Structure 1
Amino acid sequence: MPGTVGRVPTPAGPVPGAPVPDAATAVGHHRWDGTTLGPHESWDPAVRAAVELVLASPAPMALHLGDELLLLYNDAYAELIGDRHPQAVGRPATEVFAEVWRRPGVGEVVEHAYRTGEPFLEKEIPLPLGHDTGGLEPAVYTRACSPVRDSLGRIVGVLSVVAETSPATRQLQGLSEFAAALSGTLTLDDVARVALRYAITSFDADRVSFAVDEGGSGGWRMVRRVRGELVDEADERLPPLWRRGPADWRPPVVVSARSGRAIFTDDGQPLREIAVDRHDQRIRALAAVPLRASVVRGGLTIGYRSAHAWSAPERALLAASAELIGQATERARRFETQHGTAQLLQRSMLPENLPGLPRLRIAARYDPGVDGNAAGGDFYDAFVLPTGDLGVVLGDVAGHDVQAAARMGQVRAALRALALNDPRPDQVLTGLDRLVTSLGAEAGTHELFVTVVFGVIDLDREQLTLASAGHPAPLVRCCSPTGEPRAEYVEVPLGAPLGVGYRPATRTVAFTPGDTLLLFSDGVVERRRQGLSHGLARLAESVAAAPSGDPRALCAVATAAVSGATEDDVAVLAVEYALRPSRSARMEVPAEPTAPSRVRHWMTAQLTEWQVAESVIGAAVLCTSELTTNALLHAGTAARVEVDLSPERLLVSVADSGSRGTVTRARTETLSSRGRGLGLIEELSDAWGTDPTVRGSTVWFEILTPPA
C-alpha cells in the first residue's frame, strides 16, 4: 500500500482475479505508520483492545479512529460495504463514503459522537453502505455509535455497530447502550451496578456475578445478582454487597480472571464448591469470562438454572461485554485511587468532630463536584468561643487543586485563632483579609481570593451576628410552635471577597428556639443554564418544606434542592436552636453475626426508657436493624449506632468505618437482598439519606414523634 494512506483516490475495486483478503488480514498488513495514528504497536492498550473486540465479533462493527475517522472493521462489516473492501481499511470514512457521507443521518452521527462523546442509536433506517451498482439491496438496519476512549478516558474514536434489524441485533443494540452507561461510571461500585443490571437483562440470566481483584492486598471481591432479586432506586443509593475472598479463592469467575481464559459449562454443578445458598446450588449452566484489562484483573459470569449450549454469537457478545467492563473497571480503579487521595487531603483539613451543646444541634456535609479527583477549597467549621457562644463559618478558597486545599487549611486555622482572640465577626474577617492579601503577595498572584461568611450565635440574647465577604447570604428556617415553617435569607451586607478589598460590616438578627441556621457554598445553588435566583428560591422552598429543622436532614435537603449536576464542590453547615435539649445514646456494634439482634434489644430498651411511643419504637428498631445489617455486610467492620431524641423527632444514624474487613456470619441467604429493607426505611421514616466520610459512610433516618 502507498505511504500516503487516506489521500489516494477511491479505487474502483479489487484487482480482477486477485484474492480478497479478510478484514483481519487487511488491518494487520495495512501501513498504519503512514497515517496519523502511527504504528499499530504504539497504539494505546485500550484502543488495541477495542480493535481486537471488533475483529473478533461476528456482528458488523467498525471503528472510526482519530480526527480523520480512519476506518477499521471486521468481516461482517466488509460484507455490508461490498467492493469498498479492502481498500477502505485505514482511509478516512469521509472518503470511503464520500457520495453519501453528507446525507442527513449518515456522517454527521459519527462526527457528533466523536466530538461530544454522546452515544447514538437509530432503529429501522435504510443505510446506503454498498455501491449503487453491485452493492447490497436496500435493507433496514439498526445503527449504534458510541465513543471509544483510551486508557486516560480521552475520546479517540467511535465504535459503529450496524446490523439488519432482527431479534439478534437487539442484543447488539443493548451492547451499545451498555457502553454508553459504562462511560458514565466513576467507581467500581458504579461499574458493578451497571454491569450486573445489563448482564441479567440482556442475557435473560438466572444469576450473574462480577469480580475484581483487590489490588495490592492480593484478595478478591465479588458481587452478584439473581433473577427476581428486588433492587429499587433506594437500594441503588448504597454500595453493592461485595463478598470478599483470599488470593487463592476458587469461584469460576475468579479462576477465569486469574487465568485469563473463558470457562463454559453447558450442564453440571459449576458453583457447587462455592455455593452460599440455593441460588448458587441451582445453577446448571455457567459462562465465566475474564475482563482482559491490562492492569485490573476481573471477570463476569452468566448462569442459568437449566442446561444451556453456549453459541458462538453468545460467546462473542460475552467477550465484547467483558472488554467494555474491563475498560470501565480500569478507569474506575484509577479514579478511586486519585479520588481517595484528594478527598483524604480535603477532609483532613476539615473538623473531625463538631461541638455538641445541650441546645444547639450541628451537622455539616461536604460533597465533591463532578471532578472528584481534585481537592477543592470549600471549608466549614464550628467551635465554642471563650464567651460560651458558638462561632460558625463556611467559606470557599478559589481553586480546585492541592494548593487551594492547603490555602483553605491556612485560612480556616487563622480564622479560628482570630475568633478566639476577638469574636466580633467584622473584626475576624478584617484580620483574615490581611492574611489572604499577604498570602497572595507571597505567591505573586492577584487571583487569590476567598469568600466566607462568619457568624456568632449568642444563646443568652437569642441572636445571631453575621459578617460576609462575598459569600451567598445565609438562610434561617424559622419554626414557631404554632405557625408554618418559613425560610428567609439574612440580608448581610455583602462585602468584597477577602484579598480584593473587604470592608467590614455586620448584621444581627433574632435566633430563637426552633430556628435553624443554614450556611452553604455556591455549589448548592449554581447550575448551568439556570439563574442564581432560581437556585436560591428552590433552596428556600425546600428548606421551608422540610419535615423538621433537624440539621442533618436539612443538609441532605439543601444538597438536593436544585436539580441538575453541579461542577463545583458543595459544603453545607446547619445549626438548630432546639426547643428543648435532646437526649442521645450510642452503641458500638461489633462485626459479628449476632450484632443486629443486640442492636434491636438495645434500641428497644433505650427508647422504652425514654417513653417513646410504641409505634415509633417498632419502626425505629426495624429500620436500625436493616441499616446495621447493611453496614456490616458492605463494610465488614464494626459499626456505630447513634440515637438522638428531641420533642419533635427521633434521629438514628449507623456509621461504618471502612470496606476492607471480613464479616463472620453463619448464614447469608437471608441477607442476599437489601431492597426490602430499604423499601421499609423509605416507607417508615419521614426522611433518610447517606453521608460520605473519609473512611466508610453514614446512613441515617428520621421519624417525627407524635405530640405528647
Structure 2
Amino acid sequence: MPGAVGRVPTPPAPVSGGPASSGAAASVYAHDWAGTSLGPWPGWDPAVRAAAELVLASPVPMALALDDEFLLLYNDGYAELIGDKHPEAIGRPAAEVFAEVWQLPGVGEAVERTYRTGEPSLGKEVTLPLRRRRSGTVEHAVFTRGYSAVRDSGGRIVGVLVVAAETTQVTRQLQSLSDLAAALAGTLTLDDVARVALRHALASFDADQVSFGVDEGGGGWRMVRRLRGELIDEADERLPPLWRRFPPDSTAPLVVTARVGKSRFVDDGQPLRETAVDRHDQKIQALAAVPLPGAVVRGGLAVGYQAAHAWSGAERALLHASAELVGQAAERARRFETQHGTAQLLQRSMLPAHLPDLPRLRIAARYDAGVDGNAAGGDFYDAFLLPTGGLAVVLGDVAGHDVQAAARMGQVRAALRALALADPRPDAVLAGLDRLVTSLGAEGGTHELFVTVALGVIDADRHRLTLASAGHPAPLIRRCADGGEPYAEYADVPTGAPLGLGCRPATTTVRFSPGDTLLLFSDGVVERRRQGLGTGLDALATAVAAAGSGDPRALCAVATAAVAGATEDDVAVLAVEHALRPSRSASMEVPAEPTAPSRVRHWMTAQLTEWQVPESVVGAAVLCTSELTTNALLHAGTAARVEIDLSAERLLVSVADTGTRGTVTRAQTDTLSSRGRGLGLIEELSDAWGTDPTVRGSTVWFEILVSNR
C-alpha cells in the first residue's frame, strides 16, 4: 500500500551515493522514486534506507523488493545476474520484471510468503534463463536464493531482502563428473582414456593446459597434453594421442605426483620451468597435479593456468574426483591392452604376413576382431601360388572366440596349404580338411568343432575361377565389363556341409575376366541381430557394386562397412582383382627424421609426373601422402613405408608404420607440425580411404580415381 515504507519528517537531503555511487548504485540514486509509492529517497525511513545502502555497497548479489508491489532496487552483483533487464528493472514491480518466471515454484510465492509472515527462507536451486551482459548470450543459469524480511524503524515489514548466489559453475562441474563417468565407460585403451580425460579437464576447469600421464609398465613415463584453443576436430580424435616420454627419475611435476602419490598445488610461480618442453609449458604460472588412485596403473592428471590462480576447495575436490574416475578407467584399459595385445598378436601371427604380389592379380585382405576385440578368434584367410601357376585363395571360420579357436584355425590353415600344394583341386583339398577336422574333434573329445571354408583357384590366363565351399557363404564377384555399369553377383557354388560333418564338396567353375574382383568374406560381414541373412547379403552386394572401383583394398573397406549395425563376430575379407592391365608400382622407405615428409613429397611428385598422372591427381596425392607420412612418424615414431600403385582406373597410396608408438624427438614434434589435418584431407581429396591393422603397426591408405580426370 502507499506509504508502506514509512517516512520521517526530516528535511530533504541531497542525493548522494557516497563511495558506492557508481554502477547500479548510481542508477538507484538517480531514479525518480518520487513517482513511486515509496516517495523521494531522502524521505525514506532511516532503517529502510540503511538496508538499501547496505545492499548497494555489498559485493554479494542482493536486491530489495519494497512495498506491496515489490519495487526493486539492487546492487552491481545482482545487475550482472539479471543481464539486460538492468537498469530498467530499478523501481519496477518484481512481478513485471520477472514475469516469465514469477509463477514458478520457489520464485514469486517465496517472496510473497516472507513478506506476509516475516519468516526467512532458503530457496531450492532453480534454473532460470539469463542473458549475460558481457557476451549477450542467453543461457540457463542455476541459482539458490535466501529471503529475509526488511522492517522499518517501527518494526513493520516493508519489503523483502533477496540474496542470490549463482551455482551454475558448481552444478556444471557436478554434471561434468557424470558426463566424465559416462564417457569413460566407453573407453577401451589408454589412448581412449587420455582423450576423454583431457577433453573433460579442459572444459570443466576452463584451463590453459591440461595433462595426463601414466607409467610405461616397465619403467619410464609417458604424458599427453592439450592446450586451450588447440584445434582438435573429429579427424584428430581418431588419431592416437601424441605421447611424450619421460625417464623414470623425471622431475616433471606430474611425474613426481604420480610417482609419490601426493597431490601438488601451485598458486603462483613457474612450476614447469625446469622441465618445460616448449613455450606453452614456460607460460604456466598456476598448476594442480593429482595422482590417479590404483594398483595397476600409476599416473596423474594436471591442470594449469597462465596466470596466478588460487585453488579453491571445490576445485581441488573436483580434480580429485575426476582423477578417481580416470584412474579406474586407466586400470581397466591397461588390463584390456595387455589381454588384447596378446590375443591379437596370436591371431595375426597365424595369418599371412604378406600376400602375393602379382602383375595381373591384385590382392588385399582385412581382419577385424569382433566381440570387444579382447579375444582371439577363428576367422582366417590365405592366398598363395600353386605349382600349376594358379592362385589359391581361401577364407574360413573356426567357431569360437578363444585361444583354442585360434590354435585350431592355425592347424586348419597350415593343413589347407599343404593339401593344396599337393593337389590343388578345391574339392580334394576340402575333403582332406574334413578328415583332419574330424580327427581333431575325436582327439579333443568334442563334437562341437565347427569349421567353414570357401576355397578358390584362379587361373588368370584362362579367365576362370574354380570354387568349392564347406558350409561357407558364397563368394561375391564384382563384374565390370568394358563400357558397362559395374554389378555384383554371388557365385553359384554348392554350399556343402561344414568340415568335420562328412563334407562332400562339389566344385563350380565361373568366368573371372579382367576387370572383375572376387570377394571372400566371413559371416560376421553380413550377419546382424534381429536381421535376416538375406538383408545383409543384399546390402553387401549393393555396396560392392556401387564402389568407385574394383580395387581390392577399397572393396575390403567397403565390405566391412556395408551392413549397418554392430557385429559381435570376427570380420574377415579377402579380395582379388583381375586387373585390366598390369599396374605400375613404386615404394619408398621413410626414415623417422624431420625431413622425411619433404623427401616423400619430392619423390612422389617426380614418380607420378614420370608416369604422366594428371596434375590435379598429383597435387592431391602428394598432399595426402605427406600428411599421412607426418602422422605415421609422429604417432609411431618409427620408420614408415610409402607404396604407390597406379592402374588405368585409380591411384592407390598406402603409408605403413612398423610400431605402435616410439620415441618422438623434440625436433620432430616441432618440424612435423601439421598433425591433425591428415585424415580430414584424405576424406576431402580422395575417393576412398581406410586403415588396416597389422601385426606390427598399421597401414593407412587412400585411392584417387584417375580414369575420369
Task: Specify the alignment match of 1:655 in structure 2.
Answer: 656
Give the superposition deviation at 1:665.
4.7
Aligned positions of 1:107-506 closer than 5 A: 139=124, 166-216=168-218, 218-506=219-507
Whole-angstrom CA distance in 2 between matches of 1:326 and 1:272: 27
Whole-angstrom CA distance in 2 between matches of 1:467 and 1:667: 52
1:427–1:246: structure 2 CA closer, same or farther, 3 Å change rule? same
Aligned positions of 1:558-597 closer than 5 A: 558-597=559-598
Q: Which 10-residue stretch deviates more, 299-308 or 401-410?
A: 299-308
Q: Which 10-residue stretch deviates more, 424-433 or 265-274?
A: 265-274
Give the superposition deviation at 1:660.
4.8
2:551 maps to amino acid: D
2:546 maps to amino acid: A
Task: Specify the alignment match of 1:690 in structure 2.
Answer: 691
Whole-angstrom CA distance in 1 between matches of 2:685 and 2:440: 52
Whole-angstrom CA distance in 2 between matches of 1:238 and 1:526: 29
Give the superposition deviation at 1:394.
0.3
Give the superposition deviation at 1:669.
4.1
Whole-angstrom CA distance in 2 between matches of 1:271 and 1:702: 45
Whole-angstrom CA distance in 2 between matches of 1:537 and 1:279: 54
1:138–1:309: structure 2 CA closer, same or farther, 3 Å change rule? closer
Note the alpha carbon deviations across 1:442-499, whole angstroms, 9 max, x for none.
1111111201100111112211111111111211111223122212222221111111
Task: Specify the alignment match of 1:638 in structure 2.
Answer: 639
CA contact (8 A) 2:395 2:520 kept: yes
Whole-angstrom CA distance in 1 between matches of 2:229 and 2:647: 40
Task: Specify the alignment match of 1:519 in structure 2.
Answer: 520
Whole-angstrom CA distance in 2 between matches of 1:633 and 1:260: 30
SS at match of 2:234: coil
1:397 maps to amino acid: V
SS at match of 1:540: helix
Give the superposition deviation at 1:329.
0.7
1:138–1:312: structure 2 CA closer, same or farther, 3 Å change rule? closer
Whole-angstrom CA distance in 2 between matches of 1:240 and 1:439: 45
1:184 maps to amino acid: G
CA contact (8 A) 2:633 2:639 kept: yes
CA contact (8 A) 2:211 2:301 kept: yes
Whole-angstrom CA distance in 2 between matches of 1:221 and 1:653: 29
Aligned positions of 1:62-81 closer than 5 A: none
Give the superposition deviation at 1:300.
1.1
2:225 maps to amino acid: R
CA contact (8 A) 2:254 2:301 kept: yes
1:232 maps to amino acid: D
CA contact (8 A) 1:230 1:676 kept: no
Q: Greater Rg, structure 1 or structure 2?
A: 2
CA contact (8 A) 1:593 1:664 kept: no
2:201 maps to amino acid: A
TM-score, normalised relative to structure 1: 0.75
Task: Specify the alignment match of 2:36 in structure 1.
Answer: none
SS at match of 2:410: helix
Whole-angstrom CA distance in 2 between matches of 1:405 and 1:208: 42
1:533 maps to amino acid: G
CA contact (8 A) 2:396 2:451 kept: yes
5+ residue gaps, structure 2, are: 1-103, 107-120, 128-142, 145-166
Task: Specify the alignment match of 2:556 in structure 1.
Answer: 555
SS at match of 1:668: helix
Give the superposition deviation at 1:429.
0.9
Give the superposition deviation at 1:277.
3.3
CA contact (8 A) 1:211 1:254 kept: yes
Give the superposition deviation at 1:356.
0.7
Give the superposition deviation at 1:529.
2.3
1:500 maps to amino acid: L
Whole-angstrom CA distance in 2 between matches of 1:137 and 1:487: 71
Task: Specify the alignment match of 1:23 in structure 2.
Answer: none
Give runs of ≥4 in structure 1 deviating > 6 Å. Answer: none
Task: Specify the alignment match of 2:680 in structure 1.
Answer: 679
Give the superposition deviation at 1:125.
12
2:433 maps to amino acid: L
Whole-angstrom CA distance in 1 between matches of 2:126 and 2:698: 47
1:661 maps to amino acid: G
Give the superposition deviation at 1:577.
0.7
Whole-angstrom CA distance in 1 between matches of 2:206 and 2:328: 24
1:125–1:182: structure 2 CA closer, same or farther, 3 Å change rule? farther
Give the superposition deviation at 1:572.
0.7
Whole-angstrom CA distance in 1 between matches of 2:626 and 2:498: 48
CA contact (8 A) 1:648 1:705 kept: yes
SS at match of 2:323: helix
Whole-angstrom CA distance in 2 between matches of 1:575 and 1:264: 60
Task: Specify the alignment match of 1:57 in structure 2.
Answer: none
1:230 maps to amino acid: L
Give the superposition deviation at 1:425.
1.2
- RMSD of aligned residue pairs (Cα, Å): 2.3
Whole-angstrom CA distance in 2 between matches of 1:664 and 1:605: 29
Residues matched between the structures, number: 556
Give the superposition deviation at 1:582.
0.8
TM-score, normalised relative to structure 2: 0.75
Give the superposition deviation at 1:305.
2.5
Task: Specify the alignment match of 2:70 in structure 1.
Answer: none
2:513 maps to amino acid: T
1:264–1:481: structure 2 CA closer, same or farther, 3 Å change rule? farther
CA contact (8 A) 2:552 2:577 kept: yes
Task: Specify the alignment match of 2:93 in structure 1.
Answer: none
1:141–1:673: structure 2 CA closer, same or farther, 3 Å change rule? farther
Give the superposition deviation at 1:707.
4.8
1:400 maps to amino acid: H
Identity of aligned residues (%): 81
